[in-house]
Amino acid sequence: MAKNVQNPQEAVVAEAVSKTETFFENNGKKVVIALVALVLLVAGGYTYKTLVVDRNAERAAELIVEAQNRFSVENPDFALALNGDESGAGFLDVVEQYGSTPSGNLAKHYAGICYLRLGDLENAEKYLAQYSAVEGLPGEVLNAQNLGLRGDVAVEKGDLKGAVALFTKAAKASDNNYTAPLYLYKKVLALAALGDKAGAEECYKSLKAQYPNASESREAEKVLGTL
Protein backbone atom coordinates (compact mmCIF):
# COMPACT_ATOMS: atom_id res chain seq x y z
CA MET A 1 0.00 0.00 0.00
CA ALA A 2 1.36 3.43 -0.95
CA LYS A 3 2.17 5.79 1.91
CA ASN A 4 1.92 9.57 2.02
CA VAL A 5 5.54 10.64 2.50
CA GLN A 6 6.03 14.04 4.12
CA ASN A 7 9.14 16.12 3.53
CA PRO A 8 11.38 15.71 6.65
CA GLN A 9 11.77 19.47 7.02
CA GLU A 10 8.02 19.98 6.78
CA ALA A 11 7.54 17.28 9.40
CA VAL A 12 9.82 18.89 11.98
CA VAL A 13 8.29 22.32 11.40
CA ALA A 14 4.84 20.87 11.94
CA GLU A 15 6.06 19.18 15.11
CA ALA A 16 7.51 22.45 16.42
CA VAL A 17 4.21 24.19 15.86
CA SER A 18 2.11 21.42 17.40
CA LYS A 19 4.30 21.39 20.50
CA THR A 20 2.84 24.74 21.49
CA GLU A 21 -0.69 23.33 21.33
CA THR A 22 0.35 20.26 23.36
CA PHE A 23 2.12 22.40 25.96
CA PHE A 24 -0.98 24.48 26.60
CA GLU A 25 -3.25 21.43 26.69
CA ASN A 26 -1.05 19.65 29.23
CA ASN A 27 0.14 22.61 31.28
CA GLY A 28 -2.43 25.35 30.72
CA LYS A 29 -3.67 25.45 34.30
CA LYS A 30 -0.12 25.43 35.71
CA VAL A 31 0.81 28.34 33.46
CA VAL A 32 -2.23 30.34 34.51
CA ILE A 33 -1.58 29.71 38.22
CA ALA A 34 1.99 30.90 37.76
CA LEU A 35 0.83 34.00 35.92
CA VAL A 36 -1.77 34.87 38.55
CA ALA A 37 0.84 34.45 41.28
CA LEU A 38 3.22 36.60 39.29
CA VAL A 39 0.85 39.51 38.86
CA LEU A 40 0.15 39.53 42.59
CA LEU A 41 3.85 39.36 43.36
CA VAL A 42 4.86 42.03 40.90
CA ALA A 43 1.98 44.38 41.68
CA GLY A 44 2.74 44.12 45.37
CA GLY A 45 6.48 44.47 45.04
CA TYR A 46 6.70 47.73 43.14
CA THR A 47 7.40 50.98 44.98
CA TYR A 48 5.75 54.03 43.43
CA LYS A 49 6.65 57.62 44.11
CA THR A 50 3.22 59.07 43.56
CA LEU A 51 -0.31 58.16 44.55
CA VAL A 52 -1.48 58.32 40.92
CA VAL A 53 0.95 55.66 39.71
CA ASP A 54 0.17 53.47 42.70
CA ARG A 55 -3.56 53.81 42.10
CA ASN A 56 -3.16 52.96 38.42
CA ALA A 57 -1.33 49.75 39.33
CA GLU A 58 -4.13 48.85 41.72
CA ARG A 59 -6.84 49.51 39.15
CA ALA A 60 -4.98 47.51 36.51
CA ALA A 61 -4.64 44.54 38.89
CA GLU A 62 -8.39 44.67 39.49
CA LEU A 63 -9.21 45.06 35.80
CA ILE A 64 -7.17 42.09 34.59
CA VAL A 65 -8.89 39.56 36.86
CA GLU A 66 -11.94 38.88 34.68
CA ALA A 67 -9.81 38.47 31.56
CA GLN A 68 -7.58 36.01 33.44
CA ASN A 69 -10.60 34.05 34.58
CA ARG A 70 -11.86 33.76 31.01
CA PHE A 71 -8.40 32.72 29.86
CA SER A 72 -8.03 29.99 32.47
CA VAL A 73 -11.32 28.09 32.14
CA GLU A 74 -11.31 24.55 30.78
CA ASN A 75 -12.55 25.69 27.35
CA PRO A 76 -11.31 29.28 27.11
CA ASP A 77 -12.82 31.85 24.76
CA PHE A 78 -9.63 33.60 23.68
CA ALA A 79 -11.47 36.29 21.72
CA LEU A 80 -13.56 37.16 24.77
CA ALA A 81 -10.53 37.14 27.08
CA LEU A 82 -8.77 39.41 24.61
CA ASN A 83 -11.54 41.92 23.87
CA GLY A 84 -13.80 41.68 26.91
CA ASP A 85 -17.48 42.63 26.97
CA GLU A 86 -19.97 44.50 29.13
CA SER A 87 -19.37 42.02 31.95
CA GLY A 88 -15.64 42.54 32.17
CA ALA A 89 -12.54 43.98 30.57
CA GLY A 90 -10.29 42.10 28.19
CA PHE A 91 -6.51 42.07 28.06
CA LEU A 92 -6.52 44.75 25.37
CA ASP A 93 -8.45 47.07 27.70
CA VAL A 94 -5.80 46.63 30.38
CA VAL A 95 -3.02 47.30 27.87
CA GLU A 96 -4.73 50.38 26.50
CA GLN A 97 -5.60 51.93 29.87
CA TYR A 98 -2.73 50.77 32.09
CA GLY A 99 -0.05 49.45 29.79
CA SER A 100 2.79 50.88 31.90
CA THR A 101 1.77 49.02 35.08
CA PRO A 102 2.87 45.48 36.07
CA SER A 103 -0.59 44.14 35.22
CA GLY A 104 -0.52 46.02 31.92
CA ASN A 105 2.80 44.41 31.09
CA LEU A 106 1.39 40.99 31.91
CA ALA A 107 -1.70 41.74 29.80
CA LYS A 108 0.56 42.26 26.77
CA HIS A 109 1.88 38.73 27.20
CA TYR A 110 -1.62 37.34 27.64
CA ALA A 111 -2.85 39.25 24.59
CA GLY A 112 -0.04 37.76 22.52
CA ILE A 113 -1.04 34.25 23.61
CA CYS A 114 -4.68 34.92 22.75
CA TYR A 115 -3.79 36.19 19.30
CA LEU A 116 -1.55 33.17 18.74
CA ARG A 117 -4.34 30.80 19.71
CA LEU A 118 -6.68 32.71 17.38
CA GLY A 119 -4.22 32.33 14.49
CA ASP A 120 -3.35 36.04 14.20
CA LEU A 121 0.43 35.77 13.95
CA GLU A 122 1.08 39.46 13.30
CA ASN A 123 -0.66 40.65 16.44
CA ALA A 124 0.68 37.71 18.43
CA GLU A 125 4.20 38.77 17.51
CA LYS A 126 3.41 42.42 18.21
CA TYR A 127 2.04 41.98 21.72
CA LEU A 128 4.47 39.29 22.83
CA ALA A 129 7.33 41.60 21.81
CA GLN A 130 5.86 44.46 23.85
CA TYR A 131 6.18 42.48 27.07
CA SER A 132 9.11 43.57 29.27
CA ALA A 133 11.04 40.92 31.21
CA VAL A 134 10.54 40.97 34.98
CA GLU A 135 12.78 39.90 37.83
CA GLY A 136 12.34 37.07 40.29
CA LEU A 137 11.84 33.31 39.96
CA PRO A 138 8.20 33.40 38.73
CA GLY A 139 9.27 36.14 36.34
CA GLU A 140 12.04 33.96 34.90
CA VAL A 141 9.53 31.29 33.92
CA LEU A 142 7.26 33.86 32.31
CA ASN A 143 10.17 35.55 30.53
CA ALA A 144 11.20 32.19 29.09
CA GLN A 145 7.66 31.39 28.03
CA ASN A 146 7.37 34.73 26.27
CA LEU A 147 10.57 34.12 24.29
CA GLY A 148 9.50 30.57 23.51
CA LEU A 149 6.12 31.70 22.21
CA ARG A 150 7.82 34.30 20.04
CA GLY A 151 9.93 31.46 18.71
CA ASP A 152 6.77 29.51 17.90
CA VAL A 153 5.42 32.51 15.99
CA ALA A 154 8.69 32.73 14.07
CA VAL A 155 8.41 29.03 13.15
CA GLU A 156 4.86 29.49 11.89
CA LYS A 157 5.96 32.50 9.83
CA GLY A 158 8.83 30.52 8.30
CA ASP A 159 11.59 32.48 10.07
CA LEU A 160 13.50 29.45 11.34
CA LYS A 161 16.75 31.34 12.01
CA GLY A 162 14.84 33.82 14.14
CA ALA A 163 13.16 30.91 15.93
CA VAL A 164 16.54 29.34 16.74
CA ALA A 165 17.72 32.59 18.34
CA LEU A 166 14.54 32.94 20.39
CA PHE A 167 14.53 29.33 21.59
CA THR A 168 18.17 29.76 22.63
CA LYS A 169 17.25 32.81 24.71
CA ALA A 170 14.21 31.04 26.16
CA ALA A 171 16.29 28.11 27.39
CA LYS A 172 18.77 30.47 29.05
CA ALA A 173 16.08 32.69 30.58
CA SER A 174 14.84 29.94 32.90
CA ASP A 175 17.36 27.16 33.40
CA ASN A 176 15.18 24.49 35.01
CA ASN A 177 13.91 20.97 34.32
CA TYR A 178 10.42 22.20 33.51
CA THR A 179 10.92 24.71 30.69
CA ALA A 180 14.50 24.62 29.42
CA PRO A 181 14.31 21.10 27.88
CA LEU A 182 11.22 22.12 25.91
CA TYR A 183 12.94 25.13 24.34
CA LEU A 184 16.14 23.21 23.60
CA TYR A 185 14.03 20.55 21.91
CA LYS A 186 12.29 23.17 19.81
CA LYS A 187 15.72 24.55 18.91
CA VAL A 188 16.72 21.09 17.69
CA LEU A 189 13.58 20.97 15.56
CA ALA A 190 14.20 24.39 14.05
CA LEU A 191 17.84 23.57 13.28
CA ALA A 192 16.78 20.28 11.71
CA ALA A 193 14.22 22.10 9.58
CA LEU A 194 16.97 24.44 8.43
CA GLY A 195 19.03 21.42 7.36
CA ASP A 196 21.71 22.25 9.96
CA LYS A 197 22.42 18.69 11.08
CA ALA A 198 25.62 19.63 12.91
CA GLY A 199 23.86 22.39 14.85
CA ALA A 200 20.95 20.10 15.70
CA GLU A 201 23.29 17.39 16.95
CA GLU A 202 25.23 19.88 19.08
CA CYS A 203 22.03 21.19 20.63
CA TYR A 204 20.82 17.63 21.27
CA LYS A 205 24.06 16.77 23.06
CA SER A 206 23.65 19.83 25.26
CA LEU A 207 20.04 18.88 26.00
CA LYS A 208 20.97 15.29 26.86
CA ALA A 209 23.92 16.33 29.04
CA GLN A 210 21.96 18.94 31.04
CA TYR A 211 18.59 17.18 31.24
CA PRO A 212 19.20 13.45 30.69
CA ASN A 213 15.83 12.43 32.17
CA ALA A 214 13.75 14.88 30.15
CA SER A 215 11.36 13.33 27.63
CA GLU A 216 12.42 16.02 25.17
CA SER A 217 15.90 14.49 25.10
CA ARG A 218 14.49 11.21 23.79
CA GLU A 219 12.26 13.01 21.31
CA ALA A 220 15.20 15.04 20.00
CA GLU A 221 17.13 11.82 19.42
CA LYS A 222 14.27 10.52 17.27
CA VAL A 223 14.32 13.72 15.21
CA LEU A 224 18.03 13.38 14.54
CA GLY A 225 17.41 9.83 13.35
CA THR A 226 15.25 11.15 10.52
CA LEU A 227 17.93 13.47 9.11
**Residue 26 neighbours by CB distance under 10 Å:** 10
Q: Which domains does the chain have, with CATH numbers?
A: 8-225 (1.25.40.10)
Average the pLDDT over 53-82 and give the result.
91
Give the pLDDT score at 16: 52
Strand partners, 89: 84
Average the pLDDT over 58-76 and give the result.
92
Residue 88's H or E segment, with its range, is strand 88-89
Give residue-wise pLDDT tens across range 17-38.
555 555 555 555 555 555 555 5
DSSP 48: -
Give the pLDDT score at 3: 42
pTM of the shown model: 0.78
Asked if residue 74 has pLDDT above 60, the reply is yes
Task: Please report which confidence band the pLDDT of residue 4 belongs to, taking 50, 70 and 90 as the band edges.
Answer: very low
Give residue-wise pLDDT tens across range 82-119.
999 999 999 999 999 999 999 999 999 999 999 999 99
Give the pLDDT score at 85: 94
Average the pLDDT over 177-203 and give the result.
93
Residue of higher predicted confidence among 202 and 30: 202
CA–CA dist 187, 170 (Å, integer): 10
Q: How many helices (H) and strands (E) does the chain have?
A: 11, 2
Task: Classify residue 37 as exposed, middle or buried by CB count within 10 Å of its CB (0-12, 13-18, 19+).
Answer: exposed
**Distance from chain centroid for Cα 176:** 16
Average the pLDDT over 43-50 and give the result.
48
List Cβ<8 Å contacts ≥24 apart for 122-129. 124/149, 124/153, 125/150, 125/153, 125/157, 127/95, 128/153
What one-character-per-residue DSSP string does 192-223 give?
A: HHHT-HHHHHHHHHHHHHH-TT-HHHHHHHHH
What one-character-per-residue DSSP string does 129-160 give?
A: HH-----SHHHHHHHHHHHHHHHHHHHHTT-H
Judge contact between 188 and 203, C-beta under 8 A: yes
Share in percent of the chain as helix, strand, coil (round to 5): 75, 0, 20
